[in-house]
Amino acid sequence: MAKANVVLCMNAADKQTSYANNSLLQGLVEESDVDSFNMPYYTPCQEEILEIVEKEGSFDIDKLEIFQVDWDPEDDFSDTNFVFNKYKSGQNVAKCIRAVTESLLASHFGKNIIEDLFSRYAENVADHLSVEKTKFVNVVISLIRK
């Protein structure tokens, strides 16, 4: 069974590596925007999901599967522990995350930071993937109403 966990955390309190803090120092974003932005991400483990469904009481679990997929959706080498082209993989991951978060980030911080943000993010992911091939944990659940 794959254990779920948070795979990426942007820590605005880390003044040296925080994109938000660097952008603030460069005058690209307002301090109040950085302070007011919060996008929590939490992936529950299987036991937590089972407990919540049972406690809520409206559904029976038909099927629950947890599986892992590579960060890079184009990585065809699932049996290896390294990334062949970390820069391409970094860009692929950044594109996937951008598809989900761009509108939220642009509406809060403005569109002018988006290109630079995801360019830096792709570089950070590439650096990470040069050290460790990371996977997303996906949870698929089928419920039946009681």
CATH number at residue 141: 1.10.1200
User: Has residue 78 got a pLDDT over 60?
Assistant: no
Helix (H, G, I), strand (E, B) or coil at 78: coil
Determine, yes or no, domain membership for 4: no
Q: How many domains does the chain have?
A: 1
Residue indicated by tokens 């994109």: 19
Q: What are phi and psi of 13, to 5 degrees?
A: -75, -20
Q: Which residue has the higher pLDDT, 124 or 27?
A: 124
- Place 76 in a pLDDT band, splitting at 50, 70 and 90: low
Determine, yes or no, domain membership for 13: no
pLDDT per residue as tens digits for the range 89-143: 889 889 988 999 999 989 998 898 899 889 988 988 888 887 877 788 889 999 9
What is the span of the domain harbouring residue 138? 19-145
Which of 3, 144, 146 has its CA nearest to residue 63?
Answer: 144
Residue 144 pLDDT: 96
Determine, yes or no, domain membership for 6: no
Determine, yes or no, domain membership for 100: yes
Determine, yes or no, domain membership for 2: no
Question: What are 72's two structure tokens?
Answer: 């890079």
Determine, yes or no, domain membership for 120: yes
On whether the pTM is more than 0.95, the answer is no
Mean pLDDT of the chain: 78
User: Has residue 4 got a pLDDT over 60?
Assistant: no
Amino acid (one-letter) located at 104: L
User: Has residue 17 got a pLDDT over 60?
Assistant: no
Name beta bridge partners: 145: 59
Determine, yes or no, domain membership for 138: yes
Residue 8 pLDDT: 38
Segment 41-67 mean pLDDT: 92
Please answer whether residues 23 and 29 qualify as being in contact, where contact means their C-beta atoms are separated by less than 8 angstroms.
Answer: yes
Residue 69 pLDDT: 81
Inter-axis angle of helices 114-131 and 86-109, nearest 10? 140
Residue 124 pLDDT: 87
